[in-house]
Amino acid sequence: MMGKNNLYLILLLFWLFAFFESHAQEKGVLCDSSYAPQAILANVNPVCISSNTVQLTLQGGIIQGDAQWKWYADSCGGVPVDSGSTIIQTPAITTNYFVRAEGSCNTTVCVSITITVFNSPPVLSVTNPEAACAPNVIDITASAVTQNSTGIHELFYYSDSNLTQAIAFPDSITTGGIYFINAVNACGEDTASVLVYINDAPPDLSVIDEKHSCYPQPVDITDTAITSGSTGIIELTYWSDYFMTIPLTNSDSILITGTYYVRAVNGCGIDADSIKVFVYTDVPILIVTNPTPVCMPLTVNITLAYTTFGSQQVQSLSYWTDSACTAALATPGQITVGGTYYIKAENTCGSTVKPVIVNIHNLPPLLLISNPAPVCSPDKIDLTQASITTGSLRVAALSYWNDSLQTSPLLEPDSVTTSGIYFIKAENGCGFDIERVQTMVYEAIPILQTFNPPASCDSLPVDITDASIIQGSSNYSSLSYWEDSLFSVPVQNPLLVQYSGYYYIKAENACGSIKKQIFVSITAPLRLHDSIAPASCIDNSDAKVRLNVSGGTSPYSIEWNGAAITDTFITGLKAGLYDVYVSDVNNCEKEFTVQVTEIAIPCFFIPNAITPDGDGKNDLFVIRGIEAFANNELIVFNRNGNKIFSASPYLNTWGGASDVNGQIVQNGTYFYILKLGNVENTEYSGYIEVLK
């Protein structure tokens, strides 16, 4: 209840004060006005948060009547903070303080002061000013130089790091160099250097041509060694394109091969240059093309780009005489001796070595060809294999053709699928040589047809390689000849087989083989053995011949004087030459001549009468042919059986005389016995008439 009464009392007093003041003004009562202060003085400003007590004192101003000095924060009449001509404050942040005189007569305008409060020493961030070209000057007091700094209350400028030499005109520096800025606030200070460039000429940029690395090691083109020797450079920037529109964001860690660009800037201008960066992912890929052959006295240059055209990731090339790269080639640009040399390609990942063949000759090539082995489809023949041209001389290059005029190249000489005749051309710097080569590509095993060779009739050897024996055979690459069906014993000389029997022929190609049997017949020469009984006397037809054939193969066919005979005993022959033709079952044939002889005496004849009358005609008993029988004996008897004559040998001398009286016997019939005395003991007997 008491609290409520006090409230009413206060309200009553406030109303009475207001009433009397208003009434006094209405009635024109005199009131002395107060005057606003001129300024506020602070014993420290700025202050640091760590010691932030500050005393604020009015300067000037008059208070009249009941007026008082009233202090506010943030704005005039804002947040009341204190009253009086001097106050003590501890601001936590930079604060604006206001003060004015307030009384019943008047309220003055406010005066203010800002107390800056720092919570830490200043942080000075300096951006170097843009370079200038003399005679232009540079202002390092420009706000852009320290625009990113914080906590700065004041800045001072010096020419030395000890901050003892203040710069007289920091807003118009005429000499390039390093200067120093000192930032200060109530908590402390910070110092930083500022780099001033004042050039008298544009920069001169010198950039190395190339920089190499092996992935994943990057290339840093900001390395000072890259621009060593350059002058007048204030700033370097790095770019991906020639027109320098695309900044290079990873200039210190490049991992992609390419051409990059460096730009140098100073106050007088710019200079730019390129650098090639090579970042290798592996050792070099070295592709070597052998140089064109030459003929003495020309030389060969293996350093030409053509020799290694197509190679990749190559940093450098060197030339050597050995594969171990221990003996450098003295004149790789002017080689005078043909041979195999070696090119070494290197990069930061490693190296690759490959041979290069140099052909320098004094004569054209000599090409020797060995036909390749046959193959069975679908296998193919490689005409480029070295064995085909083994023994060739001075060959620099080989090419392959379908024709001898070299108008149609063989497109795939390393995979020939067709049998045929092709042509290989060898070249060097002095000329060329061309030779044919035959290929055999078979689709199936051979076809072998055999025929027994004709019999050999005179013990002559047989050539079983004769084409007629395998007439009709085909698709074979080779033939071999064997003595047994197991094909374990080869015929030593198939051109001169000397014994009858079975032989075997094997036909082969790349697809397989086939074997067949043949029979060889070799017979002794046909021979004719004859047994001749000559004609007993001249012109007699009692000769006999017995023929005996040997050699060949029976049965035989015989022709005697052109007529076929079956009986080899031939009689009734006269003396003379007879033709005999003999053939056997193998059609071996031979002609012989048989000579039938006769006894060179008249034919044996015993007459049956004599006329011993002395006329010289038939006076004697003349037996023709008796002279052929030296041991003959003749006995003559009369009709009574008495011997009237005998002689041994008888020499055709009896003319009818009797041995008894020597007289010629009477006419009549007499009898004789004639013994020839031959092996057969031939004996004749008969009669003879004596007629005088």
* Digit-coded pLDDT (tens) for 50-75: 888 999 999 999 999 999 999 999 99
Reported as a pLDDT band with limits 50, 70 and 90, residue 29 is very low
Kindly report the CATH class assigned to 132-199.
mainly beta
Return the CATH fold of 210-280: Immunoglobulin-like (2.60.40)
* Domain coordinates in residue numbering, the chain: 1-30, 39-118, 132-199, 210-280, 294-361, 375-442, 527-596, 609-690
Return the CATH fold of 375-442: Immunoglobulin-like (2.60.40)
- Tracing tokens 């013994």 back to the chain, one arrives at 675
Separation of first and last alpha carbons in the chain: 244
- Segment 252-276 shows an average pLDDT of 96
9-23, 309-323, 396-410, 648-662, range with the lowest pLDDT: 9-23
Kindly report the CATH class assigned to 39-118.
mainly beta
In this predicted model, what pLDDT tens digit does every residue of 398-423 receive, in sequence order? 999 999 999 999 999 999 999 999 99
Q: What is the pLDDT of residue 211?
A: 95
Q: Is the pLDDT of residue 15 over 70?
A: no
Return the CATH fold of 527-596: Immunoglobulin-like (2.60.40)
Domain 132-199 and domain 375-442 have a common topology: yes
In this predicted model, what pLDDT tens digit does every residue of 329-371 receive, in sequence order? 999 999 999 999 999 999 999 999 999 999 999 999 999 999 9
Q: Is the pLDDT of residue 313 over 80?
A: yes
Q: Is the pLDDT of residue 14 over 80?
A: no
When comparing pLDDT for 505 and 528, which is higher?
505
Q: What is the pLDDT of residue 586?
A: 87
Element spanning 517, H or E: strand 512-520
**Long-range pairs for 81-85 at CB < 8 Å and ≥24 separation?**
85/57, 85/58
Distance of CA 84 to the CA centre of its chain: 106
* Architecture of the domain delimited by 294-361: Sandwich (2.60)
- Segment 614-641 shows an average pLDDT of 92
* HEC profile of 527-558: EEEEEEECECCCCCCCEEEEEEEECCCCCCEE
pTM of the model: 0.47
* Architecture of the domain delimited by 609-690: Sandwich (2.60)
**209 contact partners, CB below 8 Å, separation of at least 6:** 275, 276
Q: What is the pLDDT of residue 321?
A: 97
Nearest to 213 by CA among 165, 168, 278, 272: 278
The mean pLDDT of the chain is: 92
- % pLDDT > 90, the chain: 85
